[in-house]
Amino acid sequence: MAPCALCMSRPERPASPSRAILRRPKTGQAVCRDCFFLAFETEVHNTILAANSGKGLFRAGERIGIAASGGKDSTVLAHIVTLLNERYAYGLNLYLLSIDEGISGYRDDSLETVKTNAKEYKLPLKILSYDDLYGGWTMDKVVKETGRKNNCTYCGVFRRQALDRGGSVLQVDHIVTGHNADDMAETILMNVLRGDIARLERCTAITTGKDAHEEADGSQPALPHVVKRSKPFKYAYEKEIVMYAYFKKLTYHSTECIYSPTAYRGHARALVKDLESIRPSAILDLIYSGEAMSRIVRPDSKRPTQQLCSQCSSMSSAPVCQACQLLNSLNAGLASMQLSSKN
Ligand SMILES: Nc1ncnc2c1ncn2[C@@H]1O[C@H](COP(=O)(O)OP(=O)(O)OP(=O)(O)O)[C@@H](O)[C@H]1O
């Protein structure tokens, strides 16, 4: 390959620049390994600094739970947040938080990877399981009961709540997830295709839950503390995350979930990948379009009032939270009927 484009573009251009060993999927530049690492890390750092209208993603002293599944995205996330926290002295206290959904032959293996990562990065790890949290309803049992059609709905709703509960156990202020630019583009596309424009604000935001329950005068209401969620990889391409993990030789689990993806998300994913192969900027363009559309619809969209779930006391937009509604239908043996009547 040619000389590294980034070495060549430096003001103190080296006499013998390194040879490029890869072409960046995001920019098309041919770069050497070290410049790729630095560019990728710096872009994530810049995303962190610029987030939330320039206020930044983190505050010094925050306790951060890194949602770690053992897959490529969250493994690279744990590596990079640890590295940037040291390099730029963010002053964060980092923890790994994993949810065992009870998917044998998949999550049990990937959690072993998280345990290895916890040792490698010297981070405390907390694992919570659906089995314990949801009265024995592991995903293996849910799938037996409901079939393969709606299983991702159960898993997604349960995981969201499980991460919140894990956040409370660890007393973290903030959970970061490994959702990447491809995930964002997919979700935006799905919401647009469903005509669900009101959801764009939430799905394009880098941080959700932030100050969501703060009163207009700045005082805090009597509701419990809401753990913020952020996506530092919002603009990071999946292909670059994979390359980073590969060239850094990070330990991660590379098997796809045996129950995913759902048909609709699978089609959206395939469409995004097709568009990316024709025009790599399609992923970022979709995100920018989603952000722009969400700014336009924001004045009309009403946020549902938050309250405590009457069953489990977690935050909810309805008297009974979605996780408890799903759990109730499972316990009553009505699971497949209720979800299919909604679809
Ligand atoms: N079981 C889990 N425990 C903790 N965090 C999870 C778990 N599953 C998913 N997450 C978090 O949600 C993010 C997105 O999950 P999803 O299943 O969509 O991702 P993925 O693209 O396969 O990510 P990864 O490569 O990190 O597994 C993950 O990067 C991780 O931060």
Q: Is the same domain home to 315 and 280?
A: no
Tell which residue, 208, 154, 177, has the closest CA to residue 325.
154
Q: Which atom of ligand 1 is nearest to the CA of 101?
A: 1
Q: Is residue 261 helix, strand or coil?
A: coil
pLDDT band of residue 47 (cuts 50, 70, 90) is very high
Tens digits of residue pLDDT in 230-282: 999 999 999 999 999 999 999 999 888 888 766 788 899 999 999 999 999 99
pLDDT at position 305: 77
For residue 187, is it within any domain? yes
134-to-96, 131, 139, 160, 171 alpha-carbon distances in Å:
21, 6, 10, 13, 21
Q: Is the same domain home to 199 and 139?
A: yes
61-to-27, 91, 194, 248, 341 alpha-carbon distances in Å:
35, 5, 41, 28, 47
CA of 234 to the centre of ligand 1 (A): 14
98 close to ligand 1 (CB < 6 Angstrom): yes
pLDDT at position 223: 57
Q: Is the same domain home to 56 and 97?
A: yes
CATH number at residue 147: 3.40.50.620
Mean pLDDT throughout 213-228?
56
pLDDT band of residue 313 (cuts 50, 70, 90) is confident
CA of 182 to the centre of ligand 1 (A): 13
Q: Is the same domain home to 324 and 222?
A: no
183 among annotated binding-site residues: yes
Cis bond upstream, residue 261 (ω within 30): yes
Q: Is the same domain home to 208 and 327?
A: no
Q: Which atom of ligand 1 is nearest to the CA of 177?
A: 31
Q: What's the complex ipTM? A: 0.97
For residue 295, is it within any domain? yes
Domain assignment of residue 311, given as a range: 304-343
Which residue has its alpha carbon closest to ligand 1 atom 18? Answer: 179
110 close to ligand 1 (CB < 6 Angstrom): no
Structure tokens at 155: 């898993």
> Tokens 């043996």 map to which residue?
333
Q: Is the same domain home to 270 and 299?
A: yes
For residue 26, is it within any domain? no
Structure tokens at 212: 């969501």
For residue 15, is it within any domain? no
Asked whether residue 216 carries a pLDDT value surpassing 50, the answer given is: no
Distance CA 1, CA 282 (A): 26
pLDDT band of residue 343 (cuts 50, 70, 90) is very low
Q: Is the same domain home to 262 and 289?
A: yes
pLDDT at position 167: 94
CA of 178 to the centre of ligand 1 (A): 6
Asked whether residue 81 carries a pLDDT value surpassing 90, the answer given is: yes
> Tokens 């030789």 map to which residue?
249
239 close to ligand 1 (CB < 6 Angstrom): no
Q: Which residues of 82-102 are buried (b: 16+ CB within 10 A; e: fewer)?
A: bbbbeeeebebbbbbbbbbbb
Whole-prediction pTM value? 0.91
Structure tokens at 218: 């700045």
Domain count for the chain: 2
- Helices (DSSP H) in 103-208: which residue ranges? 107-121, 130-133, 139-146, 151-170, 181-194, 200-204
CA of 68 to the centre of ligand 1 (A): 6
167 among annotated binding-site residues: no
What is the residue-averaged pLDDT of the chain? 89
Question: Is the Cβ–Cβ distance between 238 and 186 less than 8 Å?
Answer: no
CA of 221 to the centre of ligand 1 (A): 31
177 close to ligand 1 (CB < 6 Angstrom): yes
Structure tokens at 247: 């060239």
Phi, psi of 10 (to 5 degrees): -70, 145
167 close to ligand 1 (CB < 6 Angstrom): no
For residue 128, is it within any domain? yes
Which residue has its alpha carbon closest to ligand 1 atom 5? Answer: 67
Q: Is the same domain home to 121 and 142?
A: yes
pLDDT at position 217: 47
> How far is it between the farthest Cα atoms of the chain?
72
For residue 5, is it within any domain? no
For residue 290, is it within any domain? yes
Which residue has its alpha carbon closest to ligand 1 atom 12? Answer: 177
Q: Is the same domain home to 139 and 230?
A: yes
Q: Is the same domain home to 336 and 257?
A: no
Q: Is the same domain home to 71 and 217?
A: yes
pLDDT at position 333: 87
304 DSSP assignment: P
The size of the chain, in residues, is 343
pLDDT at position 210: 58
For residue 18, is it within any domain? no
Tell which residue, 234, 206, 168, 182, has the closest CA to residue 58.
206
pLDDT at position 111: 95
pLDDT at position 215: 41
Residues 6 or more apart whose CB falls under 8 angstroms from that of 224 comprise 308, 313, 315
Asked whether residue 195 carries a pLDDT value surpassing 70, the answer given is: yes
Asked whether residue 204 carries a pLDDT value surpassing 70, the answer given is: yes
Q: Is the same domain home to 156 and 97?
A: yes
Phi, psi of 255 (to 5 degrees): -85, 140
Mean pLDDT throughout 22-42?
96
Structure tokens at 177: 């997830």
Report the C-alpha dihedral over residues 245, 248, 252, 254, rounded to 10 degrees: 40
Distance CA 115, CA 117 (A): 5
